[in-house]
Structure 1
Amino acid sequence: MDTNWLYVLLQKSTQDPLERLKLGNVILTEVSQRKVSPHPKLVNDFLDVMSGWLTGSNFKVSTIGLEILDAALRTSPEVLASYYFDRLAVLIERMGDAKVQVREMAINLCLKLAYLENSSPVMLLDRLCVPGTGFEHKQWLVKVGSLNILREFLSSSFALVYQQSIGLIPQLCRLTNDPNSEVRDASTACLIDLMVYGGKPIVQKIANTKLINEQKMSTLLQRYESTIATRGDLPPKHSIIPMETGTPNRNTLLRRSLRSPAKIIHSSASTTSFTSSARLSTPPRSGVSSPSSITPILSPLSLPSPAVSSGGGGMSRSRDLGRSSLRAPSMSSSSRYRSSSCAPGAQCSITVDDFKKAFTAVPKISIYSNSDVREKLEVARTVLQNANEDWSKRANQLKLIRSVVIHSDESIDRRLLISSINELADAVDFSIRDLRSQIVREAAITCSFLFETFGNDVRHVAETVMGAALAQVAVSTKIMASSAATLSVFIVQKIQTRQIFTCLSEISNSKSKEQRRQLANLLETLISTWDSKNKQPILKNIASLVQAAICDADGETRVAGRKAFAKLEQLHSATADQIFRDLDPAKQKMLRDGVSSSSSSLNSDRENNNQKSNQNHQNISQKFLSQRSASAVDKSQVLSVFSKPQTTPSRPSAMNSRLPKSSTSSFSAVRSSGYGQTTPLRAKTPNEGGGSKSSSSSPSTSTHQSSIQRVASNLGSSSFVASLTQEQASSLQSAMDLAKDELSRNNEDDEFLLGEVRKTQDTVDQILKACASSSINEKREGLMGLAQVISGDLDEVECKKIGDTLSRLLAEGNQSLILNILESIQAFVRLHYRNLDPWIKLALGKLFSKLATDSLPNVKSALLATQKTFLQTFDPPTQLKSVCEFMCDPVHLLVPRARLALLEYICILFEEIWPEDSRCLARETRLDTEYTRAAVRKMFQWMFDPRIGAILMPACERLVCALFALNAADFTMIFGDLPQDCRDWAYRILQLNGQQQRNTVPTVVEKFDKEISNNNYKPCPLEEPIIQKPSILKPVESIRKPEFSTSEYRKSTVHLARNHMEQANYIRNQLDAMREFDRPERVNEAMANLHGMMCEGSFTLWNQFFDELLDTVYQILSTLSQTIRKKLALRILQKMCTAQATKLFDSTEIAISKVLQCACSSEDSTMSVAAEDCLRCLASHLPLPRIVHISRRILTQDDDDQRGILILKMLTRMFQDIDIDELQMIIDDVAPCFVTAYESMSSTVRKCAVFGLVALVQRIGQQRMEPHLKRLNASKP
């Protein structure tokens, strides 16, 4: 019966994948045409079978299962929707499938399910928020798919998912710290979309979660601001629910979404929503039409929208039936999911013909004067640059630009029109970068029309939009990608400038295969359409791009590259020959096969026979042939003598007149066409035809094979050579050798021969190949050629290739060539150092390794001379950054002597190069950078290693002294965040070397262990004022601290010490700034200024401002903002305690509690160091009984291990600072706390307790501590 058709088919389901595929095709055909019965048992059986197919391991079975589910949902949505939600976990699991096609199909099916009649995005998002699934799934691909679904809901149904999105903010923030990079990128993109659609209230909520560190939050804000400034598809303000108003009922939202489905429909949505790999719009609803839906205006390029179908649900199903009857769904889906590029036949793609049809589809306007043209184009420019303008108005303005050009008659000044159009460059570039497909499409059509109409006169517009067009090629939305691709074709065809080619070259190394594929297609267009005058200067670069396309990892890009190569071979055969010689044999064979498949079908045996009669006349003039009779010229011998043997593999040439067309085929094609059998060098019997196979098939020995191989390498025709006997091959080789000798001699017939082709000069690639050879002689010749190449002009790409080659040669360590290699490196550095900044890191690493291994005096001196060349040539800050990054790179594991060479290099840089370099003096370059701090920490790690510490100790001491002598202020800030042991060691080294007497920072050195500062200022010496110029911040610093990019140094406040009036005003202003917690940069700057005053001794009004300053510092320590530098607040508290300790007696407990709260709530790993210093200062200056009281209470009542660790460390240091008599008084109070801490479950707490007990034993003796030590648990390790 008809109602049981599905039941009958389900009974045939087996475990065999092949049977499942056959059954799946039948079920898919029937499900696409019939509705599923609403019987619960039948539906459950159907979904159980499909779930088993999806959870299987066969990729094709999973694919056909998803197609069946989609087709069933399309025909019977009212029956299956609720059942699908019950089995949504299966679809969520498929979102983590290993195959991209399965993942995308599962995501699209979930999106389609969300927009059905009886469901909504809210329901689907609820399922994704269930613990263990969706956003919290253990598979990272499922997380990425869930985040993509959320992004789709935010862009199409933001009002519906608004409340759920707010609840997901903490989860999204946690996902930004996921171990997988793709999850981090997807969650970051979700947060940015949420910030863009929700506005500043959402931004504030994300910041208030404190789950994103300061650096990531600043990056998010930057991307948010740039998105706000560029995108034009933001939702209307009335669609975003304000946070102050009451939250609408969820059922109301659901009913609203069902009543007004057209509000979330994109006009560019495709009718086949399931198989589209682009952003999915609202699927069509069968049988429902909303009277409030707005019918979109269809342009000539608009695709039919499902919301505008007039046939209702019946018409929609009829179209589906027509498609499914042709078995279209499975085939189309598999082809579309194979690639997201915009192929000419891909759905939603736009071609050149579509563009040309849309050129004149514009509203008719009347233009009366030049001023009218100027006014209309100015209005268009204003509207297009306004991101908040409605997208339909911007689309109409783009059409208006074309209309102005079309309806401008001869009375309009052409120069004025072109000038006004060129002024629109930034506006149309902004439209090309838009995120709405309609805007991108109209902008691409308008630009293409302008280029088609005005050509090179509007090259400014083309050069401006070219980068944006190439960037849009990589997006997943087919309309946008194909529009951008078609626009780039128009640009390359009509605009022939060097800037256009530069834009193409910039995407040659793109990670997007779509961009690389489009580049290969554009190269073919460029080669065929550009003038020779414009191509000649860049022909070498074009060849490099074509070669890269041929060797690309993407198959379609390689196909496009071969097409570009064929076009290049047709027009510039010499350049194509060079590309062919540089390719490896596999790629050469690929080119032969490609030409064979494209040209062999066009040639016949008749054409081959006709062309063979003319083949032997090549390279012989008519004068020569006219003086000899036909009997005097043996054409076969002429061919064999004057054919120069090839030393490289033969390359096919579709346009080469010296060979018949069939000769361009591959060896297999040659055998099938019979080309080798008609060669005159081999006699044939009368019975042999032109296409017959050779009758010579005698067995061959090894000598025979070697002879044949030698001949094959010269002739390149395997079918002919394989048919030769040993004697024939030997005779042929002898004839070829004789011909080669005769060619080098002068004879009487030379006047009849055409001129020989001059030998081209060796290119950089050929020389580099010689340098990479395994032969010593070839390497030596390559180095000699490289010396000549280095002396000329080189571009950045060639410099990179030469640098990599020299680095490899230096690492190989060939003793016979090492001196030549070092000489080449020195010349290379001296001549091209401006292009070698990225190469310094690699080159210095190889140089340090070589210095550690070579012991020969002459090699050692050459290495030192090379090192001196590096030091004297490159910019010192660039050298320091490269060496520090190499030093901290975990990939490079240096031997001890290489580490010693690296440290000595930095010492020389600080002692000899940096102080004398005018560039550093003029810029006043900072040393306090992230990479310098990391390098100093790495140096201490090496120095404290017992295996190599003795070797590196002298160099480390020398480096510390050199850094202090170069810039004491930066030295203080760098060492301020280091552990106390490292600072004490550096202080002792400076004392031994006499560096503490430097007059720039005497107070900092004398109290180095107590007054380390990390504020953002540089003290100004009073005796010799120095004119300070603003220094150039490093890119890393500008990213880490964007708020301090305007001013680097603080002004001196020494003059305020005696002027109490100005000092009071200054302190008042800084205190007011410290209370502006919504402006962290102002708070940080004010704290730095006050700390600088305290360091300089100019803060004298303690009685007036102490209480107010202390209250402000407490507030800063209590705030949860991670952008405020709380370490500065701790150091200010230290200064206050040192200067006015008695004023803190009454608030001892509060001060310690605030410091502990700051240390425990901060995400900065270095905060604990500053907190330990502050606690030590407080314990040394505040009343001892209060310190002991608060410490005992925290250790006995608080379960926070971090707070306990800080208290134990504070007490341990206090034991070393106070007198023994005072220690004897408190021993019975504090010792039990350490004994109790020894019982802790945390190993760190136990470790701190042991250190404290050891300190007590050392100060007061074993006998006094014996009663307390007896209570220790002996079972603890």
Structure 2
Amino acid sequence: MELATALSCCASSSTTEKKEGLKALFTIISSDKQINTMDLKKIVERLTPLIVEAAHKLLQPLTDTLIALVRRYHEELNDWLNLLIPKLVNKCSTEVLPSNLEKYRIVMEAVRTSFDPEKQLYAVCKFIRDPVRNNVSVKTKHGLLMYLHDLMRGMDSAPSMNQSEVRQAVSKIFQWVDDPKNICLMAISEKVVCDMFHLNASDFTSMLATFPNDLKDRLQTIVRKNSFCLSTGSGINTNEARAGILETTAQINDFVDRRAGLPISSPRVSPQLINGLARSPYDSIPLRRASREDQSGSLSGYVLDPQGFANDPEQQEELITKIGEELSLHNQRSEERQRAMSVLSQITRDNLFSLWDKHFKMIFLLLIETLKDSDENIRRMALKLLKEICYAQASRFNEFAEMALMRVLDACTDESKLVVTAAEECGGVLATHVSSATCRRVLLAIIKSDVGEPKIHIAIKLLTKVIESLSATELELILDEVAPPIVDTYNYVSSSIRKESVVCLVAMIMLVGEEHMAPYLSELNKGKQKLIDVYVKRMKGIFE
């Protein structure tokens, strides 16, 4: 039977003719003859409605044909995923006959193992975010989330998570969850979020920066709560090291609670482990007191002997343990914590501390948590200390750059002007001392989002610093990435954002020249282009 005849039979109202048409299609698809793109489109258009309406008698030839098609022609059929996966999920979610359900599951497994996993991820996310198509039953919503979960568990490479369809899908998923009718989606939604984090923690963290604070805090809590359970499953995830960021936060909280004698407030990982290693012996014995420290354990009377301290790892271990203890007491003992940060600042600036390999992560995370403190002086001091540590240990920040930038940008909207100033200074050091690619990715994600003008303003300001730290050649390679978003923000209603955008565009022009920037600036009206020219001439006059 020819293809046209087979397709015509599949469109017949007769079940017998449809069955014969499907069998003929299966033979054509399985033959050695290659089917062209136009004919593949016709086959897909005919099979898609049959997935929904197929009678029990047609199910076997239909599933055989679908499996043969996706296994042989999946590379040509990526656009079909947007329709295929939701329809299959819907059938699996609503089918009541076990024999029929098993057939649909076999087709879904063929789809999942044949198509590019990243394209499947984006296809499902596009469906979830679509306000017209996603008006489906709770069972189908659960099926879509379960499909994502199974898909991501089997992915070897890390897909890009910080994409508009993924961001919008995550927002939509939690709109679903907030509906009392969808309470059954909570558990699988949390699994999907953790899957995303563990697959690509770097991109996921950048994506968090684009969400409102309430959703961002919610997602961070979910990842923190579940990260240990996920990391101890079968196999070692390729992003395990980054996943340790939030896991370690939970471990440190547990460490703090135990040492302070406080009740443990939430489920946490084993207190016997930190960073996968046995705790320091200092956790099980009282801290040794010396004359330089008062007998109450406070650092208020601590006097540092620089030479002796630098050459005594045991003394360093003891001091950093005590500093960690103090910094862990959030919203308490403000004077003692300020003293602890002052001592840490001194040993950092004077390069007296040699145990960074062991303790950097703990120090970093405790300072990050301290940025939420109720005392504005503590918040300001924590930012100054982060800035100093970044100066001294810049390379160690690369693994945590996304988290650092996000929290510092949050601090730039603090109600205290002193904290805002400290945050901007800290952000400036991060922008010029850690990986420029990481900074660029996080800052552009914020600039393109709707997080609010203050945060977008400071993100553009920091991006300008990143750009100024690049060579002309480096900037030329990424102009397509950085120039269009700043041209867009130049059209903002807010005058402060427009002004910062001009400064950023001028910085680009000063590096690569007006000729390279002309294609991007052509999107602006004449008045805006003229203003940029004025600033460029002014800058050139300064440097001449």
| TM-score with structure 1 setting the length | 0.21
Flag the structure with larger Rg: 1
Which has the bigger relative contact order, CA under 8 A and spacing at least 6? Answer: 2
| TM-score with structure 2 setting the length | 0.47
